[in-house]
Structure 1
Amino acid sequence: MFRNSRMTNNLQHALVIGGGIVGNLTAYLLATRGFKVTVIEADSLGSHASGFAFGELGDLEGAGIPDPLLNFSVWCNKRHESLSTELYEVSGIDNEFTTVQRVTLAFTSEEETRLKDHLKWQTQVEEYDTYWMNPDELTALEPRISSRCLGGAYISNAKAVEPYRCTLAAAQSAQKLGVETLLRKVTNLLGRGGTCEGVEFFGGRIQSDLVVLAMGPWTKLASEWCGIDIPVTPLKGQMLRLKTNGEPLKASFHYGSSYAASKSDGLIWAGTTEETVGFDETTTVEARDGIMADLLQSLPFLEDAELNQQTACLRPWSSDGIPIVCKAPGWDNLYICTGGGRKGILWSTGMAEGIVDIILNRNSVVPSLEELHISRFRGI
């Protein structure tokens, strides 16, 4: 199978490799700029981390925040709000963008000190209403919280989306604009002298004017194709979806590296793990027991909750926890857009908008894009 998809008119043809949230948003945005776009996905759209993420847009804590990505993260969150409306108008799919209360809990004096230190700069972010809650205030918010809790950093107006619907809205909006999707496993690039002419896959090849590598943790496999060490590895995360007869949680609660929140499906989603186990996406009893143990330390009333589903996904984790969004060094028309890690849903808007601006070689409204270039890794 050989497909020559180079345009005979003025339309440029872009190949986006990867059918997760970043790949589909990139395809959609390229289509709105007049590109002919094909998305190539090895499995099915949103079948990995983009479809099984938590979906909360935590832009005030985590990897790269506040330095160097606070402004980038806040921008990404704002873009989710406008984009959710835009994609709904095109696709008819509601990605359930919503405002939620969020509390990061402290159970030790060290955690309390750290969270209060973070509040010193978090309270300066004008987009958010955030402050410290003492134990009495926390109990008033959620009476079922553990009496061991020393307090928590509270955000009254955090944001969240439903991750699979977010990915589906982007994919179907792209398809409405003529984006084609091929379910194929890419095996190599077609290249000559620094110019990428397309890709090979099992059973054929397809030519194009440019290629975007948005393959999540599988982007690492492209290192051999393009001669660049792309420092991204899979970080496995497991999550539990729990059924309880009680009232929904009054907020999303975060503790250590874990969380719990009531979702629109009526279940409490609790997670997560951080496992370096290669491309193993199976769920484990050990992860289930560990997540439940952490959860019950914070919300002991869930001891009798029924396990409805356990999921696992592989997040694309760069070696410094920050995304990689840039033109591939040494290539004229090959681009890298990956490495969202545990913030892939949040950062997807800025990553997609940023890579499209780079492709168009124009000044971007996305802040801090220069921090996302792969050249920050020594030797690249």
Structure 2
Amino acid sequence: MSPSPDVVVVGGGVVGAAVAYYLSLEGARVQILERQALGSGCSFHGTGMVISNLRETQSKGPAFAINRASRNLIGGVCGQLAEETGTDTLYQERPMLLMATSESELAQRKADMQWVSQRGVQVRWLERDEVLALEPRTSPMVLGAVYEEGTAQVDGYRLTLAFAAAAEKRGATVRQREVVGLEWEGSRVTGVRTPTETVPCDAVVLAMGASAGAASEWVGFPVPVRPLKGQILRLRLPGKPLDYFVNLLELGTIVPRGDGLTSIGTSYEETDDPQPTEDFKLRVLSRGMEVLPCLDEAEVVEHLAGFRPLSADICPIIGPVPGWEGLHLAAGHGPWGIQLSPITGRLIADLVLRGETAEPLAMEHYLPARFEGFTPGPDSFRHLGWDD
């Protein structure tokens, strides 16, 4: 009989797999419990963009800092995982064009550019003629664009499998099980419960994606995470692939992928409906064609929808749950779970095994303790701007 794991990670998305990987690097015996299949949630449905220049309303603060820290890790991690597991995560780096098609968008782009350039992001402004010179298929509607260096993209599903495979090579196990609760002795977690068994362990990490809010009932502590629906299309474009990532306000990013397809999206929807919608497809293609008319001839290969785990203050929730020993959260990563997976894995490994981290981040912005006394209500998330 196999020995009990030191740590159980509840959730097998990209964040849970990254947590398992970094814990296993430290020699911990880890078991991932996932109720469906590895990477079957938003890790599969996301665009996988790795950027610094986030939407203006969400970027100016600690969300920017932690995304930037993880962006600096992910390229090296993908290379290491490829060596260890042979998995090609389709990681690629190329510049991004953040387009403006109206005077109001132009003003917002220039304001964002000034803010991120003051924080070390390599950006410059391109006039319309310069944009057309870089991408002749661009529509004359484009007034200009921010040219950003250092952007990248990775396939979230492949990255999830690579993290998990590398963890398994170090002794981690992956089981398809639904976790329905926790076991305690006093204030210390001693295991997790499934419908058929109890899995004993010394520590638990809840990395439950869009379902993380359900953990509030298990621990008696607020875990203010809600599901936010997003949709993307994967297209086959006529002619040669784009040389740049192309970002549009109110649309997301047009992404030339490493497998030859091009993804476009995403959306931010307040709905419980998990299905892709025809309305989104028509809207996103119409908006995309305003900038790249060649999308009119694109073939829709896949139309995907999923739910991202959005926290009440836009920042991920990473670290120990107050009042309990051995229980940690890795939750609320919003649309940036793929990008944030390396830094989350490193932070959780530090906090679980050493009780502290040397990462140069202001951890008070990410620890669960910031939500002590939080009472969710209908307006808890409204200030974040996702309903615009």
- The TM-score bracket by the shorter chain reads over 0.9
Q: After the TM superposition, which segments of 4 or more aligned residues of structure 1 sit over 4 Å from their partners?
A: 3-6
CA contact (8 A) 2:9 2:205 kept: yes
Q: Tell me the equivalent position of 2:308.
A: 315
CA contact (8 A) 1:5 1:206 kept: no
Q: Tell me the equivalent position of 1:93.
A: 87
Q: Tell me the equivalent position of 1:76.
A: 70
Q: Alpha-carbon deviation of 1:366?
A: 4.7
The residue type equivalent to 2:246 in the other structure is: F
Number of residue pairs matched?
371
Q: Tell me the equivalent position of 2:293.
A: 300
- Partners in 2 of 1:173 and 1:134 — Cα distance? 45
Q: Tell me the equivalent position of 1:178.
A: 171
Q: Alpha-carbon deviation of 1:146?
A: 1.6
Q: Determine whether 1:36 maps to 2:29.
A: yes
Q: Determine whether 1:226 maps to 2:219.
A: yes
Once the two structures are superposed, residues 212-262 of structure 1 have per-residue CA deviations (whole angstroms, 9 ceiling, x without a partner) of 000101111111111112110111111111122222112111111322121
Q: Alpha-carbon deviation of 1:361?
A: 1.3
- Partners in 1 of 2:357 and 2:265 — Cα distance? 39
3-state SS of paired residue (1:186)? coil
Q: Determine whether 1:113 maps to 2:107.
A: yes
The residue type equivalent to 1:269 in the other structure is: S
CA contact (8 A) 1:189 1:196 kept: yes
Q: Tell me the equivalent position of 2:246.
A: 253
3-state SS of paired residue (2:12)? coil
2:180 to 181, 187, 190: 187
CA contact (8 A) 1:216 1:315 kept: yes
1:271 to 265, 273, 283: 265
- Partners in 2 of 1:96 and 1:90 — Cα distance? 15
Q: Determine whether 1:373 maps to 2:354.
A: no
Q: Tell me the equivalent position of 2:13.
A: 20
Q: Alpha-carbon deviation of 1:299?
A: 1.4
- Partners in 2 of 1:4 and 1:268 — Cα distance? 44
CA RMSD of aligned residues (A): 1.7
Percent of aligned positions that are identical = 31
- Partners in 1 of 2:195 and 2:270 — Cα distance? 28
Q: Which moved more, 1:63-72 or 1:326-335?
A: 63-72
Q: Tell me the equivalent position of 1:164.
A: 157
3-state SS of paired residue (1:235)? strand
1:240 to 233, 240, 259: 233
- Partners in 2 of 1:313 and 1:95 — Cα distance? 20
Q: Alpha-carbon deviation of 1:210?
A: 0.4
3-state SS of paired residue (1:69)? helix
CA contact (8 A) 1:4 1:206 kept: no
Output the TM-score relative to the length of structure 2: 0.91
- Partners in 1 of 2:6 and 2:43 — Cα distance? 25
The residue type equivalent to 2:361 in the other structure is: P
Output the TM-score relative to the length of structure 1: 0.93
Q: Tell me the equivalent position of 1:349.
A: 342
Q: Tell me the equivalent position of 1:216.
A: 209
Once the two structures are superposed, residues 156-198 of structure 1 have per-residue CA deviations (whole angstroms, 9 ceiling, x without a partner) of 3312212211111101001111100110111111123221111
Q: Determine whether 1:361 maps to 2:316.
A: no
Q: Alpha-carbon deviation of 1:378?
A: 5.7
3-state SS of paired residue (2:364)? helix
The residue type equivalent to 2:235 in the other structure is: L
- Partners in 2 of 1:139 and 1:87 — Cα distance? 37
Q: Alpha-carbon deviation of 1:5?
A: 4.8
- Partners in 2 of 1:88 and 1:366 — Cα distance? 27
Q: Which moved more, 1:284-293 or 1:25-34?
A: 284-293
The residue type equivalent to 1:47 in the other structure is: S
Once the two structures are superposed, residues 258-289 of structure 1 have per-residue CA deviations (whole angstroms, 9 ceiling, x without a partner) of 221211222221111111223x4221112211
Q: Which runs of 5+ in 2 are unaligned?
A: 375-388
Q: 1:293 to 1:303 in 2, by over 3 A?
A: same
CA contact (8 A) 1:216 1:339 kept: yes
CA contact (8 A) 1:139 1:145 kept: yes
Q: Tell me the equivalent position of 1:9.
A: none
The residue type equivalent to 1:215 in the other structure is: M
Correspondence list, 1:120-159, <5 A: 120-126=114-120, 128-159=121-152
Q: Determine whether 1:262 maps to 2:264.
A: no
Q: Alpha-carbon deviation of 1:4?
A: 9.1
CA contact (8 A) 1:354 1:366 kept: no
